[in-house]
Structure 1
Amino acid sequence: MSGAAVVAALAGLLTAVALVELAAARGERAGARQAAGRHADEAAGSGAGRLRERLLALLARLGRQAGAPAAPRDLAERLVAAGEPFGMTAGDAMAVKGGAALAGVSAAVPLGPLLPGRLGLLVALALPAGAFLALDLWLMRRARRRGQEMERELPDLLDLLRVAVGAGLPLERALGDIGRRTGGLLAREWRTFAAQVELGLPRERALELLGRRCPSVRVAVLVRSLERAARHGAPLGETLSAQAREARAADARRLDERAARAAPKIQLVVALLLVPSVLLLVGAAMLAAFTG
């Protein structure tokens, strides 16, 4: 393989990676403007942030001009679970995906003839497909990270909610006060729920939207408990206490599993780095002694 082929292959791979990175940067910037209190991009006003925004806008414009495909039914749900990054609708996301695919094609066309055998055809097919699916993979990873972060916040917030509800506060008032006085993703989503109810949205609909914005199994269980309590007037104190205990137990199990996985890694570091370094020192000392 010639040097030109290697450079072209690297350029194609970097194009796909850059698309995902641009989507992430645009999502962080636009999230600061969302009423739901999503992630803010601290570097939004920087020159790099503005450059990334222009590049992403160009990519979306390219996809719209070429004719973006129809959005699948679950794309809107995945966008909501991922925090609606860069304020996109499903149509905007498909425009970005179409523009990414065209960028992949533009990188694969000059690269394919340079590669030997069927490798060129494989790259010509895989690079546009990978660029088209890059946004989906990023949304999946973002939703998973959001869910994990919410689950870490959940035990403490459940205790606060139990105390607030036990003191006689209405549900939306309790969730809103906790959301305003604490930080984190889940607290901001609670604050959004309270704001929606204050603006006249029915509580059942606001709870449904809260569950859609929180990609976590434990938060989904909490939302169902809140829905049952709002519908039937059931007391929440014992339910919240039990869920808080279960969440802390799950966190403890996760930490134990991480510690168990860390032990072999530590042993590997000791075996491959520390032991040879000590033997080198001993060998150097012995060599110095033998050679005078």
Structure 2
Amino acid sequence: MPAEFLPLILALMFFMTVLLLTVGIMQYIRIASQRRAVMEKIQSSSLNTAAAFKTTALGAPGFENKMLGILGLLGHRMGKDTLVEHAAMRPKFLKAGIRSEGAPAAFFGAKLAFTVLMPLQYVLFRALMPEVTISTTMSMIFITTLAIGGFYIPDLWLLDKTQKRRQIILDGFPDALDLLVVCVQAGMGLDSAISRVAQETRFTCKELSDELHLFTLEMRAGMQRQQALKNLAMRTDLEQMQNMVTLLLQTDKFGTSVSQALEVFSNSMRTERMQRAEAKAGKLPIKLLFPLMIFIFPTMFIVILGPAVIRISHFFQNM
């Protein structure tokens, strides 16, 4: 191996080690939050409306809460003009299921912390291994790249959390819609039907249940149904939910039957879900082609042709 590639390889190994440690810590926090949520479900027999929307990923007790508190203080000290940015970021946190008041401050604090800590790792690496020679230009490139990457790590985390939550809501939406149709056809009003669906889907799809229950709380607080439905569509960030909200607003405006409209929409949702499954099944052979060509076929050729190649080589050596 050429000696000039050694510093780059060592720096890459150090970066990968820190990255894996960071991912491991984040996974540990996520699993701990899931376990805590399961224990809360088991211990509580009824839905506590006040605590259901105060307890979020940014309100957990223990070490995580202390770290997020430090990040929140750091975010508040970034500047007085960040209040406008905090207000602009709040819809993004609602789409990710984070309703804590200190979420924007902790988010900006995490951006600042990662921007400082990522280049600091490189500086620490240079201090621990002074015998590794890296030019000043390369050092500046490394520091700049790590700082930019650290600045966008919280954004990537928030985007990933939003996409996972959107997929969970999408998977549970057809069943909740069928239950809503049954409740409306049974003679319940739309608001009471949505409240009933929120209770029934609490353990099957907690994310969707929380959003429907928040809609119920907004209606009880005196908000107009039109605005509450629009808020529901905004928080879920789901095209199917937006279509259902538009349908409900139109039926309320023109006085048409809600049960018939929801039944037709439910059938279309089932058809769309089946079409998505068929599309994924159709793409499966193409997705399996490259792993087969890269990993499976070479191994099969080695197993099948390997003994023959060895015997042929021995035959020619003995001639």
TM bin (shorter chain): 0.7 to 0.9
| Aligned positions of 1:126-275 closer than 5 A | 126-182=145-201, 183-184=204-205, 185-271=207-293
- Secondary structure at the aligned position of 1:118 is classed as helix
How far has the Cα of 1:85 moved from its partner? 6.4
- Secondary structure at the aligned position of 2:246 is classed as helix
Evaluate the alpha carbon distance shift between residue 56 and residue 191 of structure 1 in structure 2; reply closer, same or farther with a 3 A threshold: closer
Evaluate the alpha carbon distance shift between residue 20 and residue 288 of structure 1 in structure 2; reply closer, same or farther with a 3 A threshold: closer
Paired with 2:10 and 2:310, the residues of 1 have a C-alpha distance of: 50
Match of 2:113 in 1: 99
Evaluate the alpha carbon distance shift between residue 17 and residue 130 of structure 1 in structure 2; reply closer, same or farther with a 3 A threshold: farther
Evaluate the alpha carbon distance shift between residue 115 and residue 64 of structure 1 in structure 2; reply closer, same or farther with a 3 A threshold: farther
Evaluate the alpha carbon distance shift between residue 91 and residue 28 of structure 1 in structure 2; reply closer, same or farther with a 3 A threshold: farther
Paired with 1:58 and 1:25, the residues of 2 have a C-alpha distance of: 22
* Residue number among 57, 66, 70 corresponding to 1:58 in the alignment: 70
Letter in 1 for 2:167: Q
Tell me, yes or no, if the aligned pair for 1:20 and 1:134 is still in contact at 8 Å: no
How far has the Cα of 1:173 moved from its partner? 0.3
Task: Kindly indicate whether residue 41 of structure 2 is the aligned counterpart of residue 35 of structure 1.
Answer: no
TM-score (norm 2): 0.70
- CA-atom RMSD in angstroms: 4.0
Residues 141-184 of structure 1: per-residue CA shift (max 9 Å, x gap): 22222222222222222222122222221111000111111221
Paired with 2:259 and 2:213, the residues of 1 have a C-alpha distance of: 20
How far has the Cα of 1:81 moved from its partner? 0.7
The unaligned stretches of length 5 or more in structure 1 are: none
Of residues 11-20 and 116-125 in structure 1, the stretch that sits farther from structure 2 once superposed is: 11-20
Letter in 2 for 1:256: E
Paired with 1:95 and 1:26, the residues of 2 have a C-alpha distance of: 22
Paired with 2:264 and 2:277, the residues of 1 have a C-alpha distance of: 20
How far has the Cα of 1:219 moved from its partner? 0.6
How far has the Cα of 1:135 moved from its partner? 1.5
- Percent identity of the aligned residues? 20
Evaluate the alpha carbon distance shift between residue 157 and residue 77 of structure 1 in structure 2; reply closer, same or farther with a 3 A threshold: same
Paired with 1:128 and 1:118, the residues of 2 have a C-alpha distance of: 15
Residues 237-259 of structure 1: per-residue CA shift (max 9 Å, x gap): 23222322332232223222322
Letter in 2 for 1:9: F
Paired with 1:204 and 1:29, the residues of 2 have a C-alpha distance of: 36
- Secondary structure at the aligned position of 2:183 is classed as helix
Evaluate the alpha carbon distance shift between residue 98 and residue 268 of structure 1 in structure 2; reply closer, same or farther with a 3 A threshold: closer
Paired with 1:270 and 1:98, the residues of 2 have a C-alpha distance of: 44
Paired with 1:91 and 1:215, the residues of 2 have a C-alpha distance of: 23
Higher RCO (Cα < 8 Å, 6 or more apart): 1
TM-score (norm 1): 0.76
Match of 2:94 in 1: 80
Evaluate the alpha carbon distance shift between residue 14 and residue 164 of structure 1 in structure 2; reply closer, same or farther with a 3 A threshold: same
